[in-house]
Amino acid sequence: MSAKKDPGVWQGFKAFLMRGNVVDLAVAVVIGAAFTNIVNSVVKGIINPLVGAFGTKNLDSYSSCLKGPCTGTGDSATGVRILWGSVLGATLTFLITAAVVYFLMVLPMSRYLARQEARRKAREGTQEVVEVSELEVLKEIRDALVAQRGPGHDRT
């Protein structure tokens, strides 16, 4: 009984993997992972040195002491620190990622789709004009035929 179900399950799993959505998602994950490395390099190579011009190059070192005394680092640290520098670094990474994705991917794609939609509507618009003009011609033909029959005949 299980021998009969296994090929069906295998075929179902294979069909699931070959769907366009799954393949698209896999490609997106791979590109996203590569893109993360680029963004991290931009933050470490450009943003952190710019911030370092005003303080330290490592954003993770920015912190505030909530409950003192705050001494030491890592496991030997005392006090309660708020590591707002690491939050700032993550926020900058997110904003850069979002900006690059928007300006390099979303905006061009939405403009392309808008142009495609405008072209589609233009094609539909010309078809409607043709249909309306054909209807108008048919009405004129009908009116001409009614006029030829004379005033005593109904249009029905």
> Is residue 87 over pLDDT 80?
yes
Q: What is the pTM of this model?
A: 0.49
Give the confidence band of 112 by pLDDT, cuts at 50, 70, 90.
very high
Residue whose entry in the numeric block shows the structure tokens 């904003």: 95
Give the confidence band of 114 by pLDDT, cuts at 50, 70, 90.
very high
**Residue scoring higher pLDDT (88 or 128):** 88
Determine the pLDDT at residue 111: 92
| CB burial readout 35-56, b (16+ within 10 A) else e | beeebeebbeeebbeebeeeee
Residue ranges with strand state E in 20-133:
64-71, 78-82
Distance CA 28, CA 45 (A): 25
**Residue scoring higher pLDDT (120 or 59):** 120
Tell me the CA distances in angstroms from 114 to 105, 109, 117, 122, one per residue in order: 14, 8, 5, 12
DSSP assignment letter at 151 = T
Cis geometry, peptide bond prior to residue 151 (ω within 30 degrees of 0) = no
DSSP assignment letter at 1 = -
Give the confidence band of 132 by pLDDT, cuts at 50, 70, 90.
low
Give the confidence band of 116 by pLDDT, cuts at 50, 70, 90.
very high
Give the confidence band of 94 by pLDDT, cuts at 50, 70, 90.
confident
